[in-house]
Structure 1
Amino acid sequence: MKKTASHNYHPSYRKDIDGLRAVAILSVVAYHALPSYVPGGFVGVDVFFVISGFLISTIIFKSLADNDFSFFEFYAHRVRRIFPALLLVMASCFVLGWFALLPEEYKQLGKHMAAGAGFVLNFILWKEAGYFDVASELKPLMHLWSLAIEEQFYLFFPLLIWLAWRIRINLAFVISAVLVLSFGINLIGVRYDVVQTFFSPQTRFWELMVGVLLAWFTLNAASKEKDCLVSSKRPVGWRFLPNNIATEQPPIASLRVALSLAGLTLILASVFLLNKSMPYPGAGAIMPVAGSTLLILAGQESVINRILLSNRAMVFVGIVSYPLYLWHWPLLSFARILESETPSLEIRAAAVALSFVLASLTYRLIERPIRYGGNTKQKSIVLCILMILVGFVGYNAFYREGLPFRQKQLLQNNEQYQFRKITASDESRCLRRFPTFQGYCLLAKDSQPTIAIIGDSLTTSIYGGLREATANNASMNILGLSLGGMLPLMGVSSYDNLSPFKRRAASALGTSQMVSIAGESGSVKLVVIVGNWTLYIDPQPDREIFVRLADRPEVTDNREAYRIALTRTFSYLLQRNKQVVFVLNQAELNFDPQSCASNRPLRLGSESRSICAISREEFEKHNREYREIAASVLKNFPAVKVFDAAQFLCDDHWCWAMKDSEVLYADKTHLSRQGGSYIAHFLAPVIQGARLERVHADRVGSSGPISTDQSLPTVSAR
């Protein structure tokens, strides 16, 4: 093999593959713009993976066969193909974000830009994803995860094939082994951690390897034909049929139609039958991968490939599919950010239309001149330098906390709806005393805790507010123990449909550990239990929660498991002479609370949200079931005090997310720093032993005092 070469092989052009690219990108764009109508459009990425594996491996195999493969030429071509449009889109997002994003948002954009420039964003998103994470539609560069996986494949695959070629290992065996191994890891992975499996390269490589295997057999099968990719006389798949059939006169047109029709059917079925609530990729990814393979295998002479995929409109969309993929998501994401809610259909349509325009201009003015012009070596070097600079600029924005000096007037206001940044010393103090705790551990003072707040992610803002409210009381030291998205009760596990086994094990261990730390600590006199209780009782549209008892697997009803676990937790703590305060959670919003603030530097609408609240009727309907269960349990525990956080945020008609021009929520579920401080103002007297009626006059609305007796008041009690 030559160490340097002037030219690596490039496969004969096939219009139908560009048409298949169009099917992939249109599926993805439709899914992002209209997810309820195209629930499985995300499979377009899987189609891209198969196409990439097929084309890239065709280049490598033919160049190796001609003894003309060059690593430098291969990667230089990848740089000229991938970098120009990517640099333009990331730089544009950074400039728009300068004017449009708040510091915390700009900080995240910088992190994602740096990770995108380094092609490791899939790992960053893997670590970020979870119950407490920012919604994906608020991440303008999130779509670069798939590009990262492709680039990671390009680092791994050429070297593997070159080594196998040099030492004369059967390439089909090597390809098949990697494919089977990756597919097996994928099948196992979705059972334990869907998020990791979705973003992990080792669980995605099999999709590219299917394209590689197709290219290998295609080249070998067609090696004696005039067209090295697809025979002009018969589809390449014909050579793999049994000998007694292959020796007969093949029904060429019928076979091509069958292959392409089956392939298109599989892709369309996956686009409309799959959805984001299903564990993916898993076995579900077989449909789009097999469909793509069959369409490529059918050859460009197939009726469907020739008429549908090779028509001018589909080919054009396929040609600009890469810049279209890069542009469409940032435009939709920024529209969502600037609207602070799901944009109207008109805005989404405009964003999609603009992405087509920008994709066409990017291809004609940026991509094509750089990719096909002269001075290829110099261009590749300059592009690499620019990518490093863009990555550094992004990292600088992340490191410098989102460059808050951009909008000086936001420095004060931004704190209204950002979570309190709990100092690292709180966590280090806690971990020194409780090193085995598996969750988030915080301790306000460097002494034995006297009050423990245990719960899910709602605990964080309450902890911050109480820490502030009790800072001057030397006898009160707050311990905060939390596990996001996990029911904070004794002997129970809670997990979702996306990563059941991993979360079940972590939840069963962590939640019982939280309760036992609070219960067995001799210094802790009072335990506050906080949770987003409705999450574990009411089914979610795209996230099903399972609540199970460790010692009673036959109990499969969430409500019954919740009732039993709540009873056990109260009994356990009261038997150890702990005072217990049970906190009923605040309302969950159906809008982004940032839409209430008037301090966003740039927005699509001219005004902020007119009513920053949800109706009280809606809140009561959503929370009624868990409150009824809790009330039935609390009747048996008159010593447990009940603190209803919602009572301080609701009046007769509305449950408010804003008070005195301060946004009290950080997102739809969690309180902001100000919200945590506001609720802690009323909770602190309860903890300090004051009568609850004393705070009645200070609360929001007039729906009646909070009760401390054995009956649980509904939010509408007067």
Structure 2
Amino acid sequence: MTAFPAADDNRSTRAPMPYRGDVDGLRGLAVLAVVLHAFGAPLPGGYAGIDMLLVLSGFLLAETLWRERDATGQIRARAFLARRIGRVGPALLLMLAGVGALGWALLLPAELRALGLWATASVTMLSNILHWATGQPFGGGALPTPLLHTWLIALTAQMTLLLTLVMAALAMRPARIVAVLVALWALSLAASVLATPVAQQATLLLTPFRAWEFLSGALLAIWGQQRGAAWRGPAVLSWVGAGLLLGIVAAMPMGPFFPGLLALLPVAGTLLLIAAGTGPGLVNRALCHPATHLAGRIAFALYLWHWPVLTFGQALRGGALNPAWAALFITLALGLSWLTWHWVEGPLLRRGPLHRRVLPAGALVAGLSVALLGGAIAAGDGLPGRLDAETRMHAAALADGPDLSRCMVPGGGPLMGQTVCAVGPEGQPRVLVWGDEQAQALLPGLEAAASQAGTPGLVVWRAGCPPLFGLRKTESGRDLLEDTACTAANTQIRQSLVRLDNLDSVLLAGRWSYYASGQGIGLDSTRHIAVHHVDETRNTLSQAALVIGSARETVALLRQRVGMVQVLRQVPEIPMHDSRMAAREAAHLGWPLATRPATQSDVPRDALALRAALADAPWRPLAKMGTIRLLDPWPLLCDAATCHATRDGTSLYHDNARLTASGARALAPLLLPVFALPEGTRQALTGTSQP
């Protein structure tokens, strides 16, 4: 039902619609802008091609419907919508079949499960709503679904249905058609302007907020039909329109206030170019050039294929594409688009009466089959049995995280605003576990140990924030607000110790080597952190020395309030391990264009000696003096010579420093003494473990 292809062939009405070569070219350029933007070309405003397509779709469909109304006195909505399904359905289904086949072979279970949901949403024209409901970003982060782009197809289908029903219901009252469409246009624009600052994702994806763009093109088409416009405006219109669009595409990145009023710019530019039509001028000649005509003819197919090619290309290459690889995959998308147009879309334009009746029904049946199959794949959790054992092991780690159901952010009390997780039985916490993401990953092991000991505990954690007093930090990938929040959170914990008077013990857990060295290792070696003492006069020391000094101060302050201070020695880092990367490498092994495997699940202990020394330096002297107990997880994760991220077919690590739930539970015996406290007593610890 989408209006990306030509509004319909000339058989759709009794009054043939003259061919608009300029509109064909403009549609092609709009899709090219979207595609190049998606592939990382330096076109920050390439997203404006979406707005251009919405205007063009509204214009072409409204012109087709109005011509039918003029020719027959009525609009047969069911017949028109059936033609749209027959025109668009085969190409869409072909793309879904290709994506499904590649997804079966290449995607991990969670990704294939998501693909099943998106396939169902795509054929039911609800994927824009799914996109909004899931909150999935348009790019970055984990691999986006190869069907993410179908949100626009669903959006235009919904608008097509709305426009067709309104015009069919009021076909005998043309003035009322215009009045209703103008009212809908005004309501939609007002909703977009008001909602964009507070709900941008909704205004980008949902019909009520973007219908005004589609209706802008529709109202222009109706105005032109009522006045018998020849669409040969002065050249100045085309120059102004082209200037607006080029300026946006080249220099206006999407900000927090788009679409809203800012969307008026690409909409106005597109309307001006349509109005200039086939008039004289260089711009109109460029739009009618054979190259832009070809881009217009394959525009729908190119939109269908560009995103699957991009996402599968990123999966095979292990991340963002460099310019050379991007050019290769763009070429592949263009080739698939031309083949789809030549063998599927082109023949549909020449179909006979029988095909025009059979195709819509066939497309509906095939669409229903896709919906059912997608639902079955989603219900089957992405069918992990299709993958080999190694891929399944690494993929299982992606879902093997801690249960956060007992975590919360209190609205009051001494730890108000902190992320806290209860472990063990209900009751006042006797043990406080304070740490960074290492502590969060330990939750399953802490829960098991606390439950076995029968001791209530509380875990307080903040990602990338050293659990040490007196330090502030600046970290790559985080903004000033996050860095400041870390300092404030640690100060709050220090002040809260007075009110947490039931505590018998504190356990510190952190990625100590990261804070002491200032950077990650292996796959996250580009991640950096700088720590500074809040007392600026002490910042002449090295970062490692600052951490050592802060560790001593932190332990001294804690021992004033609790009898036991315990520290978890940092789990061994596995520099080149990442479960998501390892799973993809195993799934893609042997595929053309796939990157060579880079992950490793084992590392010699000797290779970790320097990082381990940095991590242990703050704690070993304190442990020897009996000031703290140092708990050593290395014997549970390493043998005499090697540390392992996997064991007995189970992945113990998510990435190179963070345990899975299985890995955390493997440490439960080590953590049990943390919670095995004498009832009602507070006493200083006198012994140490043997790290």
TM-score with structure 2 length normalisation? 0.69
Q: CA deviation at 1:321?
A: 0.6
Q: Which residue of 2 aligns with 1:397?
A: 377
* 235, 249, 265: which one aligns with 1:271: 249
- 1:420, 1:464 within 8 Å by CA — same for their partners in 2? no
Residues 30-179 of structure 1 mapped to structure 2, 5 A cutoff: 30-33=36-39, 35=40, 37-66=42-71, 67-129=73-135, 135=141, 137-165=143-171, 170-179=176-185
Change beyond 3 A, Cα 1:671–1:176: farther
**1:259 is the counterpart of 2:237:** yes
- The secondary structure found in structure 2 opposite 1:417 is helix
Quick one: which amino acid aligns to residue 331 of structure 2? A
Q: Distance in 2 between matches of 1:670 and 1:131?
A: 25
* Pairing of 1:649-664 with structure 2 (within 5 A): none
Name the amino acid aligned to 1:51. L
Q: Which amino acid aligns with 1:22?
A: G
Which of 20, 28, 42 in structure 2 is aligned with 1:14?
20
Mapping of 1:673-688 within 5 angstroms? 673=661
Which stretch has the larger CA shift, 601-610 or 107-116? 601-610
**What's the CA shift for 1:326?**
0.8
* Residues 416 and 664 in structure 1, CA contact (< 8 A), matched pair in contact too: no
Displacement after TM superposition at 1:695 (Å)? 7.2
Q: 1:111-170: per-residue Cα shift (whole Å, max 9, x none)?
A: 111111222112222232269998364321111111111111122222233445556764
1:288 alignment counterpart: 266
Residue 345 and residue 224 in structure 1: after superposition, are their counterparts in 2 closer, same or farther (change >3 A)?
closer
Match of 1:418 among 398, 413, 427: 398
Match of 1:358 in 2: 336
Distance 2:461 2:175 in 1: 53
Structure 1 residues 472 and 181 mapped into 2: Cα distance closer, same or farther (>3 Å)?
A: same
**How much does 1:346 deviate?**
3.1
Number of the residue aligned with 1:543? none
In structure 2, the residue matched to 1:599 is: 586
Equivalent residue, structure 2, for 1:339: 317
Show the 5 A alignment for 1:180-219: 180-219=186-225
- Aligned-pair distance for 1:17? 0.8
Distance in 2 between the 1:669 and 1:13 partners? 61
The DSSP-based 3-state class of the residue aligned with 1:41 is coil
Q: Please give the TM-score of this superposition, normalised by the length of structure 1.
A: 0.66
CA–CA separation in structure 2 for the residues paired with 1:302 and 1:582? 78
CA distance in 1, matches of 2:576, 2:134: 23
CA distance in structure 2 between the aligned counterparts of 1:288 and 1:214, rounded to whole angstroms: 15
Opposite residue 101 of structure 1, the aligned amino acid is: L
Q: Which amino acid is 2:374 matched to?
A: G
Cα distance in 2 between the residues matched to 1:586 and 1:194: 42
Q: Tell whether the 8 Å contact from 2:124 to 2:371 is kept in structure 1 after alignment.
A: yes
1:475 equivalenced with 2:454 (yes/no): yes
Contact kept, 8 Å, 2:455 with 2:675, in 1: the verdict is no
Contact residue 113 and residue 391 of structure 1 kept, 8 A:
yes
Aligned partners of 2:63, 2:657: CA distance in 1, in Å? 50
Q: 1: CA distance between counterparts of 2:95 and 2:58?
A: 24
- Listed one character per residue, the Cα deviations across residues 489-519 of structure 1 (whole Å, up to 9, x for unaligned) are xxxxxxxxxxxxxxxxxxxxxxx9xx99x98
The partner residue of 2:597 within 590, 608, 611 is 608
Contact kept in structure 2, 1:259 and 1:295, CA below 8 Å: yes
Measure, in 2, the Cα distance between the counterparts of 1:415 and 1:461: 17
Going from structure 1 to structure 2, the CA distance change for 1:484 and 1:152 (only over 3 Å counts) comes to farther
- Further displaced range: 447-456 or 303-312: 447-456
Letter in 1 for 2:48: V
Kept in 1: contact 2:188–2:212 (CA 8 A):
yes
Larger Rg: 2
Q: 1:640 to 1:692 in 2, by over 3 A?
A: closer
Tell me: CA distance 1:403–1:137, structure 2 relative to 1, closer, same or farther (3 Å). Answer: closer
Q: Which amino acid aligns with 2:213?
A: E
Paired letter, 1:473:
Q
Secondary structure of the 1:81 match is: helix
Identity %: 25
1:233-288 CA distances to partner (integer Å, 9 max, x unpaired)?
xx2xxxxxxxxxxxxxxxx4xxx2x2111111211211122225544323332222
216 and 350 in structure 1: CA distance in 2 versus 1, 3 angstrom threshold: same
Whole-Å separation in 2 of the counterparts to 1:94 and 1:280: 33
Instruction: Determine the C-alpha separation between the residues in 1 that align with 2:424 and 2:336.
Output: 55
Give CA-to-partner distance per residue, 1:565-608, whole Å, 9 cap, x none: xxxxxxxx999999999999999999976334553244554631
**Structure 1 stretch displaced more, 186-195 or 684-693:** 684-693
d(CA) in 1 for partners of 2:401 and 2:668?
16
Partners of 2:95 and 2:304 within 8 A in 1: yes
Structure 1 residue 80: Cα displacement? 1.6
The answer on whether the counterparts of 2:17 and 2:64 sit within 8 Å (CA) in structure 1 is yes
Q: 2:304 matched to 1:326?
A: yes
What SS does the aligned partner of 1:211 have?
Answer: helix
Helix, strand or coil: the match of 1:213?
A: helix
Tell me, what secondary structure is at the counterpart of 2:47?
helix
Q: Which residue of 2 aligns with 1:559?
A: none
Q: Deviations over 1:74-111 (max 9, x none)?
A: 11121022211111111111111111122122111111
Of 355-364 and 580-589, the range deviating more from structure 2: 580-589
Aligned amino acid, residue 600 of structure 1: A
| Cα distance per residue 1:273-323 (max 9 Å; x no partner) | 222554432333222222111111111224234321110011011111111
Instruction: Give secondary structure in 1 for the equivalent of 2:597.
Output: coil
The equivalent of 1:632 in structure 2 is none
Q: Which residues of structure 1 form unaligned runs of 5+?
A: 236-251, 489-511, 539-572, 614-638, 650-655, 697-718
- Kept in 2: contact 1:164–1:174 (CA 8 A): no
Contact 1:422 1:464 in 2 (8 A): yes
Contact 1:418 / 1:666 at 8 angstroms: preserved in 2?
yes
Q: 1:298 to 1:133 in 2, by over 3 A?
A: closer
Q: How much does 1:464 deviate?
A: 3.4
**What letter matches 1:599 in structure 2?**
A
Instruction: Determine the C-alpha separation between the residues in 2 that align with 1:440 and 1:403.
Output: 35
* Pairwise CA distance, 1:486: 13
Deviations 1:4-41 (A, max 9, x none): x98476632101111111111111111122x2512221
- Distance change >3 Å, CA 6–CA 278, structure 1 → 2: closer
Tell me the number of residue pairs that the alignment of Structure 1 and Structure 2 aligns.
593
Answer yes or no: is the 8 Å Cα contact 1:263–1:291 preserved in 2.
yes
Match of 2:586, SS? coil
The answer to whether the Cα contact below 8 Å between 1:115 and 1:121 also exists between their aligned partners in 2 is yes
Determine helix, strand or coil for the equivalent of 2:398.
coil
- Structure 2 partner of 1:406: 386
Q: Say which SS state the counterpart of residue 191 (structure 2) adopts.
A: helix
In 2, distance between residues paired with 1:210 and 1:454?
57
Deviations 1:648-706 (Å, cap 9, x if unpaired)? Answer: 99xxxxxx99678987765799764456568888877667688997475xxxxxxxxxx
Contact 1:327 1:358 in 2 (8 A): yes
